[in-house]
Copies of this chain bind each other. A is one copy, B any other.
Amino acid sequence: MALVVQKYGGSSLASAELIRNVARRIIKKCREGYQVVVVASAMGDTTDDLIKLAYQVNSAPDKRELDLLLSTGEIVASTLLAMALQSLGQPAVSLSGSQAGIRTDKAFSRARITDINPARVLRELEKGKVVVVAGFQGVTEDMDITTLGRGGSDTTAVALAAALRAERCERYTDVDGIYTTDPRLLPEARKLSEISYEEMLEMVTYGFKAIHPRAVELGEVFNVPILVASSFNENPGTLIHKEVSMEIRNKVRGIAHDTDVAKITIVGVPDHPGIAAGIFMPLAEAGISVDTIVQNASIDNITDLTFTVARSQLKHALSVVEPIARSIGAKKVVSDDKLGKVSIIGTGMQNAPGYAARMFDTLSRENINIQLITTSEIRITCIIDEGRLKDAVRALHRAFELDKAT
C-alpha cells in the first residue's frame, strides 16, 4: 500500500472550520488507496503568541524552556486534526514528535534530526489509522523536547517521508505552488508544474519564501519528491523532484528577488596574504553571515573589498569591520542598504552559454546599474538599486520568456 506524508501549514489549520476542511482532504487521499501520515504546524499565529507570552515573563527566555513551550502549539493542532478525522469516521491518532520517534541533537531552538524510530507510526498505520505527527519538534536522548527552528515542520515532513520510504511528501499551505517569480510583484508570473531540487534550493536561498531550504536539501539527499500545493483549492501545485524533463531543464526557470541586502565596501585595503581572513573570520565569529564577496584587482598593492550582509545585520557588521579597517590601514568603510538582489535560476544554464550576457544586456536596456554580480552553476545574481527591483524582475521575466507557457 503506497504511503504519502502530507504537511499542513499553520494558515491551513487556523480555525476549527479549516481543520475540518483539511480532515476532508486527508480522507480523500485515504479513499484513493493511500496510507497517510500528516505533519501539522501550529494553528495560525499560535507560535508567535507563545513567544510573546515568553517575552512577557523573561526578556531573554532560556532556549530549553522556550522549546518545550513552543512544542505545545503543534501538539494542539495535531490532536484537533486527529479528532476532526475521527468525527468524519476516519480512525486517526496524533503523536507528539517525541512519540513519533523523532530524535534530535541538543541544539535547542535549532535542533537537527539525528534519526527517526518509526516503530509507533508504523504500528498505528497497520491499524488503519491516519497518523498525525506534531511538526517542528523532537526529543533528545535525555528526553528533553527540542524544536527544529522556523520552517521546521517542513523538515519533519520530509524526514518522516524518508524514514517511512513514502512515495512522496505533499506540503500544503495557502500558496498553491512555485511560480516563475513572485506573483504579487508580477501578475504574469506562471506556476511551474515541476522543478528540480537544485533550482528550488537556489530559489529559496535567493528570495523565494515558499519552502524551507533544509526541507529541500533533505528531500534531495533522500530523493523524496515534494509537492507544494494549496489546502484551499484543488490546483495541481508544483512537484520538486529529481527527474525534470530535458526540455524544461534547458530554460531559466525562475526569477528570484530579495531586498534583505546591504553592501559594505572597505576602500583602500593594503593587499597582502591573510587580509581577507583577518576581516571575515571576526565577522563569522560575530554570527554575521556574509553573502557575496568581491575584491577588485589590486593596483599598487591597494584594493577595495566589497561584500553583502543581511540588512538587519548591517549595523552589527559595521561595528565589527570598522575597527579592523582602521587597524589594517584601510582608507575608509562605506555602506549602502538601499539595495536589492535579482537572480535568474535554472539548471539549463550550466550547459548553455549566453545567459549572463542576456541578463546584463536586459538590465542595461532598462538603464539599471549592476553593482555586484555573483553566480552559481545554475544561478546568476545581480545586486542593484532597491528602487529598480520590480523593473528588473519584469524585464528579466519577459527576456527569458517565463511569461510564455512551456
A96 within 8 A of B: yes
A389 to chain B: closest CB distance in Å? Answer: 41
Residues of B within 8 A of A84 (CB): 57-58
User: Is the beta-carbon distance between A83 and B57 smaller than 8 angstroms?
Assistant: yes
Closest to A62 in B: B86
When C-beta atoms are compared, the residue in chain B nearest to A81 turns out to be: B57
Q: How many residues of A contact B (CB 8 A)?
A: 41
Is A99 an interface residue, CB under 8 A from the partner?
A: yes
Question: A32-40, A64-72, A103-111, A252-260: which lies at the B interface?
Answer: A64-72
**Assembled-state Cα–Cα distance A253/B84 (Å):** 50
Is the CB–CB distance between A57 and B80 below 8 Å? Answer: yes
Q: Which of A184-238 contact B (CB under 8 A)?
A: none
Work out how many copies of this chain go into the complex. Answer: 2
A81 contacts which chain B residues (CB < 8 A)?
57
A343 to chain B, nearest CB (A): 41
User: Does residue A7 face the partner (Cβ distance < 8 Å to B)?
Assistant: no
Report the bound CA distance from A69 to B76 in whole Å. 5
Does A61 make an interface contact (CB < 8 A)?
A: yes
Whether, in the assembled complex, A75 has its beta carbon less than 8 Å from a beta carbon of chain B, the answer is yes
Q: Mark A328-361, 1 if CB is under 8 A from B, else 0.
A: 0000000000000000000000000000000000
Interface contact A83-B96, CB-CB below 8 Å:
no
Given contacts A50-B76, A69-B83, A72-B76, 9 further A-B pairs with CB under 8 A are A16-B53, A57-B81, A58-B84, A65-B79, A66-B79, A68-B94, A68-B96, A69-B80, A72-B72
